[in-house]
């Protein structure tokens, strides 16, 4: 094993150990509070629902531990068993080493590496989610979703990978800047086209029917000067009883989307508060800021990749006699998660700040906090949310504040109307 492979293996083991420890820490914390609903959250759930939420959290944690171990073993095998060099040699022997063939190799490898996740994903959907009453999808629809996803990866991923590799050939040492521009342009184009061409492949979107709710939400949009092409309901219930709301697209393609399950679960003022929260993200420019941060992160990552791609020891560490940009992209993609995991608390802290700001915006628009608090409480109840996560665990895994944290930050707003 080379000198560089050793710290990579250490990082892999440390990440796996940290994830298992965090799951264990959270499990103990949840069990310590399992006797009754926390005093500060009385009324969120009855005792029977709270007990189910505890069991749901514990079952999900056990599955997550299994996924952590499995993914770590698979990654270690891929990196250190010689499988990648063998596969690369076989592929180039059959198809050659042209840029198009290398792009196909990267795409095929990515698809192949997603296959070990399928059994656990299937178990999550048809055993765990089924057990707690959330699954509504069928075997046929589940597999059809994966087939559609695969075809989209091929249709969109192959041209993008090919373009990046071509840019590396055409632009010399500054290829990473050109590649960054291509990736950023692709992201923006996808954001525009996804609501029109991609999302309808998976779900049916229908205009929100005429009536009090539609008028209420349109008045909110007018009051907040939020222009949207339409308010639509998505048939999320054909896959799960979990619920959500979001807006998607840019400019004239922007639309507000409500899960049908959300419409069924919340009262009209609560739905208005949820939408006000989502509009708050837009008005506070959270989406733009996140896009800029992501773009800067991609720029830094590509620059770092351009440096290691020149180093022969980087390829030899994983069994390759020599390398190229395609192999560097593959290896860098496999290794990046070993580092970015440790920065997730900082990323989630930033995301939580945005959630608090969007909550405050919603309360300001509603002139009270009770509607938003009521919506958050119902969503936690219906989704069997974990009311008592360990703070360290939530720091690593929760992009949103806990229910109790959100209620505390809404404390300055009236809890009832009027």
pLDDT at 416 over 60: no
Mean pLDDT of 76-100: 94
Mean pLDDT of 66-79: 96
pLDDT at 3 over 80: no
* Helices assigned H by DSSP within 210-285: 212-223, 260-265, 268-283
Q: Which of 124, 278, 381, 407 is catalytic?
A: 278
Q: What's the mean per-residue pLDDT of the chain?
A: 91
361 vs 5, higher pLDDT = 361
Q: Has 129 been annotated as catalytic?
A: no
Q: Which long-range contacts (CB under 8 A, 24 or more apart) does 329-333 make?
A: 329/106, 329/161, 329/164, 329/305, 330/84, 330/106, 330/109, 331/84, 332/301, 332/304, 332/305, 332/308
Residues whose CB falls within 8 Å of the CB of residue 58, separated by 6 or more in sequence, listed in order: 27, 30, 31
The CA angle 253-192-103, to the nearest 5 degrees, is 160
The model's pTM is 0.90
Q: Has 359 been annotated as catalytic?
A: yes
pLDDT digits (tens, 9 = 90+) for 253-295: 677 888 999 999 999 999 999 999 999 998 999 988 998 999 9
pLDDT digits (tens, 9 = 90+) for 215-255: 898 889 889 888 766 788 999 999 999 888 877 766 666 77
pLDDT at 376 over 60: yes
What pLDDT, on a 0 to 100 scale, did the predictor assign at position 222? 87
Q: Which of 129, 270, 355, 359 is catalytic?
A: 359
8 vs 305: CA distance, rounded Å: 16
Instruction: Determine if residue 399 is left, alpha or beta; phi over 0 gives left, psi from -120 to 50 gives alpha, anything else beta.
Output: alpha
């Amino acid at each position: 094993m080379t000198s560089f492979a050793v710290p990579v293996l250490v990082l892999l083991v440390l990440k796996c150990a940290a994830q298992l420890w965090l799951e264990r820490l959270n499990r103990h914390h949840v069990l310590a509070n399992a006797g009754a609903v926390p005093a500060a959250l009385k009324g969120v759930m009855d005792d029977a629902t709270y007990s189910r939420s505890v069991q749901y959290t514990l079952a999900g944690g056990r599955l997550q531990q299994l996924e952590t171990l499995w993914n770590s073993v698979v990654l270690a095998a891929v990196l250190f068993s010689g499988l990648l060099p063998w596969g690369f040699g076989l592929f180039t022997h059959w198809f050659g080493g042209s840029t198009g063939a290398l792009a196909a190799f990267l795409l095929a490898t990515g698809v192949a590496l997603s296959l070990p996740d399928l059994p656990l994903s299937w178990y999550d959907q048809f055993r765990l989610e089924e057990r707690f009453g959330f699954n509504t999808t069928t075997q046929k629809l589940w597999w059809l979703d994966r087939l559609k996803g695969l075809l989209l990866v091929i249709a969109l991923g192959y041209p993008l990978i090919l373009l990046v590799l071509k840019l590396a050939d055409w632009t010399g040492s500054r290829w990473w800047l050109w590649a960054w521009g291509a990736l950023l342009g692709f992201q923006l184009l996808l954001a525009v086209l996804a609501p029109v061409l991609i999302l309808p492949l998976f779900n049916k979107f229908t205009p929100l029917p005429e009536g009090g709710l539609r008028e209420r939400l349109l008045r909110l949009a007018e009051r907040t000067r939020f222009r949207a092409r339409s308010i639509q309901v998505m048939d999320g219930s054909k896959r799960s009883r979990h619920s959500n709301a979001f807006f998607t697209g840019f400019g004239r393609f922007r639309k507000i989307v409500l899960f049908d399950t959300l419409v069924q679960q919340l009262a009209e003022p609560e739905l208005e508060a949820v939408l006000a929260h989502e509009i708050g993200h837009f008005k506070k420019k959270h989406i733009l800021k996140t896009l800029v941060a992501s773009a800067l992160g991609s720029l830094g990552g590509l620059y770092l990749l351009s440096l290691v791609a020149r180093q022969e020891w980087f390829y030899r560490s994983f069994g390759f006699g020599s390398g190229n940009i395609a192999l560097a992209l593959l290896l860098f993609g496999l290794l990046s998660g070993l580092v970015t995991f440790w920065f997730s608390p900082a990323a989630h802290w930033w995301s939580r700040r945005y959630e608090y700001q969007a909550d405050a915006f919603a309360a300001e628009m509603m002139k009270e906090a009770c509607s938003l608090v009521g919506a958050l409480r119902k969503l936690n109840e219906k989704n069997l949310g974990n009311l008592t996560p360990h703070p360290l665990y939530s720091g690593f895994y929760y992009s949103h504040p806990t229910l109790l944290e959100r209620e505390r930050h809404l404390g300055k707003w009236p809890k009832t109307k009027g």
